[in-house]
Structure 1
Amino acid sequence: MIPLNHIKHILISRTDNVGDLILTLPITGILKKNFPDVKITFLARDYVRDVVKHCIHTDGFLSWDVLSAMKKSDAIAEIKSHGFDVVIHTFPKKEIARLMKKAHVPYRIGTSRRGYHWLNCNEKVNFSRIKSSLHEGQLNLQLLKPFNIDVNKNDFPYLNAQMGFQIKEPLSSNIKSFLKPDRFNLIIHPFTNGHTREWPVSHFIALIQQLPCDRVNVIVTGSPKESDVILNSIMPHCPNITSAAGKCSLSELLQLINAADGLVANATGPLHVAAALGIRALGLYPITKGIDPKRWQPVGKKAEYLTADPNCNAPSCCGKNDCFCMKSITVDQVKNVVMRWIA
């Protein structure tokens, strides 16, 4: 158990993606609630810096892109210069675990299920993400056990309340140009950069075509590399929509989501951002264990989700008790949710 009176600076290591980081934010609020004077820094990739910036519980950011490019001796010196008392490895990474030990961070917390944590962590928590039935946000809380924090208080409203994710910056002129104040501004984010299964593009097109354009302003978002697909595959069939794909920095995308009225997406970062910000958010999910809503559902007061049908009869799915094609989530199901939102 960690001697709590001596803890002044905690580093949370999370070097994967936006959605993963959003679901890690509750531990920042819980730590601040228990230790109001503690300083919390995130070790993460540069591209999620703006997400960390908008969490009211975080005090600093350490770039993994910069740290990983340094000579090992320089990286160790950089870590030492921050005076971390604790590092929490929420996303296990061997190289980071080794650096933290060599930098003599006094308390290094990780799951006991990683062999390299036995060599590099001195506070190990015994749980398995693969075998667990818990949500990702609840699993992250397990790593707070060495602080003697009750991790059983972990329902979704509680997790959401601990995120502290807020965006208060004024909208840029670029973002204002995508919005229409007299309509329901609906963001559709159709792709996931290949991170999970995706609802078919044809279904997204049919959904957009069936929404009343005099009441709904559809804004399609995506990464720069997805913008060509959106331009060539979606825009020709949906002339009344606006594409913001590849036209926003992450900071501007966060602003756009915060200013929108609703968002429809697969299980990807913008969905979790929308849920955390408290706007209407609908996630489209497969039912496969490990990538299903039980593990990754959006956490927010207005968040909801639809799941694929295990009895899908598509050739690629038949007999596998799963919907690999995601076609079994019907356009009408998604449309009904959106129409309920704008009613």
Structure 2
Amino acid sequence: MTDIMKFENAQNIAVVRTDKLGDMVLTLPLVKAIKSNFPDKTVSVIAQSYCKPLLKNSDYIYKCFYIDEFDNGLKDIFRLEKFDAAFFPRPVFDEAIAGFTSGIKLRIGSAYRAYSVLFNHKVRDHRKVSQFHEAQYNVRMLESITGANYKTELIRPIIDEIEFQKIQNLLQNAQDKTKIIIHPGSGGSARDLPIEKLIAGLKAFANDNNFQFIITGIATESKICDDVHQNLQHSLNFCGQLNLDEMIALIEMSDGMIANSTGVLHIAASLSKRVIGFYPNSPHISQKRWGPYGTESIIINPPIDENTQLSDDMSKIDSERITEAVIKLFGKV
């Protein structure tokens, strides 16, 4: 039986993505492509539990399974739920072997791993070349089976009213201002713009009452968040104060975001917010593969240099380019 016949016969499909928040945002277009084009199939997502706010109540997702809630992770999930096909956008050996030993008939993963023999449909995309965006690479997994082309579209997270109400209360004095989230860290997931560069780029707006800057980050980033807050008069500092549901509601109620290459930037893109992003130049970590997808954005990179280290040195970014980007994307000083 051919792979396309196996897929056509598959009713219960799993998409496995168990790494970071932004990776899940960029994997959901695959889920949407499957469900939109094959509405009779059920699509379940297997993820880490911290991704719940991205997945809950989605029209495209049948069930969610969270590997950190099972003693034996993916092995237990595959015993509990009988899947006919499973997509592995970011294959790791333990997950590939779990799919193989569970007897899933169609297992879709990269052709370029030492353990690719565990997949019986091999996708021949070298992602590190960054010919496509990560979201497109994920949709291309489906295209590699069917031979058809599908839209690559992010999925908007569903936000509960209780989160909206909390954020509305926090922003009650900023209703008429342009609300811009500043997310200065990345939780170690990216090469960050040095905080002094960010501060220098935003100093022109320190006393501008047209903007309400809102600083966010995880608790361990409190030092850099405090540094930004101290240099931006009237800014709000919510660092370490919001859970992910509340953060998503805040993004929805904002006008845009300034951030490094990190998960919340991709959430902002999924909510069609304007984004200023800071990225190195090497293709595998650049905006070509990891930039905000499908939304209005300005990307700021270091100057290109023959020396790759210098080309990816975020400290080489001119802070004036940040000032110019804010004016262009959000309005005049």
Instruction: Please give the per-residue CA displacement for 1:313-334, whole angstroms capped at 9, x wherever unaligned.
Output: xxxxx95573443133322222
Instruction: Please give the per-residue CA displacement for 1:217-249, whole angstroms capped at 9, x wherever unaligned.
Output: 000110121124423x33333342111111111
Say whether the 8 Å CA contact 1:77–1:103 is kept in structure 2.
no
Distance 2:266 2:130 in 1: 21
Question: Are 2:330 and 1:338 aligned?
Answer: no
Which residue of 2 is the match for residue 165 of structure 1? 156
Segments of 5+ residues of structure 2 without an aligned counterpart are none
Task: Tell me the secondary structure at the aligned position of residue 23 of structure 1.
Answer: helix
Residue 36 to residue 191, structure 1, CA distance change in 2 (3 Å): same
| Structure 1 residue 125 displacement after superposition | 1.8
Counterpart code for 2:220: K
| Structure 1 residue 207 displacement after superposition | 3.1
Counterpart code for 1:193: G
Distance 2:323 2:104 in 1: 51
Instruction: Please give the per-residue CA displacement for 1:271-299, whole angstroms capped at 9, x wherever unaligned.
Output: 11111110111111111221111111110
Which residue of 1 is the match for residue 96 of structure 2? 97
Instruction: Please give the per-residue CA displacement for 1:105-134, whole angstroms capped at 9, x wherever unaligned.
Output: 22111111112120x222212222123422
Say whether the 8 Å CA contact 2:16–2:46 is kept in structure 1.
yes
Which residue of 2 is the match for residue 38 of structure 1? 41
- Write 1 or 2 for the structure with the bigger share of helix: 2
Distance 1:130 1:320 in 2: 15
Say whether the 8 Å CA contact 2:11–2:42 is kept in structure 1.
yes
Task: Tell me the secondary structure at the aligned position of residue 143 of structure 1.
Answer: helix
Question: Are 2:201 and 1:213 aligned?
Answer: no
Say whether the 8 Å CA contact 2:130–2:284 is kept in structure 1.
no
Counterpart code for 1:41: S
Which residue of 1 is the match for residue 273 of structure 2? 279
Which residue of 1 is the match for residue 107 of structure 2? 108
Which residue of 2 is the match for residue 314 of structure 1? none
Say whether the 8 Å CA contact 2:214–2:238 is kept in structure 1.
yes
Count of matched residue positions in the alignment of Structure 1 and Structure 2: 324
Say whether the 8 Å CA contact 1:185–1:261 is kept in structure 2.
yes
Say whether the 8 Å CA contact 2:67–2:77 is kept in structure 1.
no
Question: Are 2:252 and 1:264 aligned?
Answer: no
Which residue of 2 is the match for residue 22 of structure 1? 25
Alignment of 1:303-322 (within 5 A): 303-311=297-305, 319-320=307-308, 322=310
| Structure 1 residue 92 displacement after superposition | 0.7
TM-score by length of 1: 0.87
Say whether the 8 Å CA contact 2:54–2:157 is kept in structure 1.
no
- CA-based RMSD: 2.2
Question: Are 2:166 and 1:174 aligned?
Answer: yes
Residue 92 to residue 332, structure 1, CA distance change in 2 (3 Å): same
Counterpart code for 2:69: V
Task: Tell me the secondary structure at the aligned position of residue 218 of structure 1.
Answer: strand
Distance 1:89 1:197 in 2: 26
| Structure 1 residue 255 displacement after superposition | 0.8
Task: Tell me the secondary structure at the aligned position of residue 26 of structure 1.
Answer: helix
Residue 147 to residue 247, structure 1, CA distance change in 2 (3 Å): same
Residue 18 to residue 329, structure 1, CA distance change in 2 (3 Å): same
Which residue of 2 is the match for residue 10 of structure 1? 13
Say whether the 8 Å CA contact 2:198–2:322 is kept in structure 1.
no
Distance 2:298 2:120 in 1: 39
Which residue of 1 is the match for residue 129 of structure 2? 131
Distance 1:213 1:54 in 2: 39
Say whether the 8 Å CA contact 1:85–1:106 is kept in structure 2.
yes
Which residue of 2 is the match for residue 245 of structure 1? 239
Query: Runs of at least 4 residues of structure 1 off by over 6 A?
Result: none
| Structure 1 residue 251 displacement after superposition | 0.9
Question: Are 2:61 and 1:58 aligned?
Answer: yes
> 1:222 is matched with which residue: 217, 223, 244?
217
Say whether the 8 Å CA contact 1:310–1:321 is kept in structure 2.
no
Counterpart code for 1:224: A
Alignment of 1:164-203 (within 5 A): 164-170=155-161, 171-179=163-171, 180-203=174-197
Residue 296 to residue 77, structure 1, CA distance change in 2 (3 Å): closer
